[in-house]
Amino acid sequence: MSILIKGGTVVGPSGAYPADVLVDGETIAAIFAPGQGPADGPEVIDATGKYVIPGGVDAHTHMQLPFGGTAASDTFDTGTRAAAIGGTTTIIDFAVQRYGEVVQDGLAAWHAKADGNCHIDYGFHMILGGVDDDALKAMDQLVSTEGITSFKLFMAYPGVFYSDDGQILRAMQKARDNGAMIMMHAENGPAIDVLVKQALERGETDPIHHGLTRPQELEAEATSRAIWLAGVAADCPLYIVHLSASKALEQVKAARDLGRNVFAETCPQYLYLTLEDQLGAPGFEGAKWVCSTPLRSKHESHRADLWQGLRTNDLSVVSTDHCPFCMKDQKELGRGDFSKIPNGIGSVEHRVDLLYQGVVDGKLSLARWVETIATTPARMFGMYPRKGIIAPGSDADIVLYDPNARTRISVETHHMNMDHSAWEGWEIDGKVDTVLSRGEVISRGGEYTGRAGRGKYVPRALSDYLL
């Protein structure tokens, strides 16, 4: 079936221009100057007054992640449906190998969770929770035959996902050889654990102490150490995940200024929310915003620095780190002890809108909006040009975005499986109007018409950005 998206303004990484887009089956067939497309034949979708952008690519989600004594509350079904409604048409989720487990078994478990349940296309990164000889061998196999070309390591969470510097170096050397990307959770976990213990001994148990025991210096130190280690591993490709703070950004910027293979993402929560206003909310309310890295102080320049980093490409990608937990029975596990609050915020439905607000606020250009939420994540993680761009031959993952409508975020209206919203009451200029995934209209004017199981696994190539 063919569809002509007519009268809109196509936005891509190189800017905005009026054009009509012809979709044939699952892919984009052609882009026409306005009015030059086929006069009859295809179904016409009127895009007058709307931006026509590539479907969002969220490169960092955790559906059903077992974590903190519970599991992230969105399944692949509920989470990818919410993502789709919010204009994201591809996610890259993190499959998990825990210490002592076989990497391939962890991957098989993730395929089993996702297979037949996703509303949109998806790929996987692999978390390595135990780097040993077998895991290193598995890295080669995942790159060469499974379409998994990125591996996340943790400098935090000793006893859970933590890798020591020797393990990190070995994994980086392997990645240097097979071309994979090392994704780093850069926080000094052992030092944080000391601060957490001391805080609890002083009776400091409220959610805000989650942030106060994870000072930005421990993110910056770990970021710097990861960059040095990647240098020792002959400039292994390194991608810092969920970067939250100015001093960590300085480390990334310095490495990039030297031409290093170092990249970073940030997330909407670090661009907008703060330690004082959210994590420090009265009583136990702040638990909603416990995530790691933590929200930073509004009295420092973090948010302004992160927006600037997005403009200068020192931050290349905006992902959500979608890891939702309900207050009831989940976040509540940490009442009286902040260290037991499961870490994570859910935003997979709102990333496209939240970043568009940056355009309205004059912090990001239209082109950079599309680049950071769609094009660059696709290129960074080997999905381009199939994903992340409106171009002939690309998958017809397309969002019609209405800049004149408004979005109001609330737990009453969102589609994520959460009993609260981290963005409750937020009003945004702009709204996702229509979503196509591989040529199928799955959401239109707020009405969802997709279905679980239509999303396909996308094996990924190596990153486009490697030297």
Contacts with Zn ion, residue ranges (CB under 5 A): 185, 321
- What distances in angstroms separate CA 52 from CA 8, 123, 320, 435, one per listed residue? 6, 24, 22, 10
**In whole angstroms, how close is the CB of 57 to ligand URP at the nearest point?**
17
SS3 state of residue 156: coil
Strand pairing category for 27-32 and 447-448: unpaired
DSSP H helices in 131-215: 133-141, 165-178, 189-201, 208-212
Query: Among 119, 185, 386, 387, which residue sits at the site for ligand URP (rule: CB under 6 A)?
Result: 185
Partner in contact with 343, chosen from Zn ion, ligand URP, none, beta carbon below 5 to 8 Å by kind: ligand URP
Q: Please give the single-letter amino acid code of residue 81.
A: R
Number of alpha carbons in the 13 Å side-chain half-sphere of residue 363: 17
Lay out the sheet containing 121-128: strands in order across. 56-61, 88-97, 121-128, 150-154, 181-185, 238-240, 262-266, 317-318
**In whole angstroms, how close is the CB of 332 to ligand URP at the nearest point?**
17
Give the x/- contact pattern for ligand URP in 344-383, rule: CB under 6 A. Answer: x---------------------------------------
323 makes contact with ligand URP (CB under 6 A)? yes
Task: List phi, psi (to 5°) of 96.
Answer: -125, 130
Residue whose C-alpha is closest to residue 24's, from 279, 344, 395 = 395
Q: Pick the closer one to ligand URP by CB: 221 or 321.
A: 321
Partner in contact with 291, chosen from Zn ion, ligand URP, none, beta carbon below 5 to 8 Å by kind: ligand URP
Residue whose C-alpha is closest to residue 413's, from 346, 349, 327, 357 = 349
331 makes contact with ligand URP (CB under 6 A)? no
**In whole angstroms, how close is the CB of 54 to Zn ion at the nearest point?**
23
What is the rounded distance in angstroms from the CA atom of residue 181 to the CA atom of residue 174?
10
296 makes contact with ligand URP (CB under 6 A)? no
Give the x/- contact pattern for ligand URP in 43-82, rule: CB under 6 A. Answer: -------------------x--------------------
Query: Among 246, 292, 376, 407, which residue sits at the site for ligand URP (rule: CB under 6 A)?
Result: 292
**In whole angstroms, how close is the CB of 239 to Zn ion at the nearest point?**
12
343 makes contact with ligand URP (CB under 6 A)? yes
Residue labelled with tokens 């009405």: 447
Q: Pick the closer one to Zn ion by CB: 376 or 394.
A: 376
Binding residues for ligand URP, rule: CB under 6 A, are 62, 185, 242, 291-292, 321, 323, 343-344
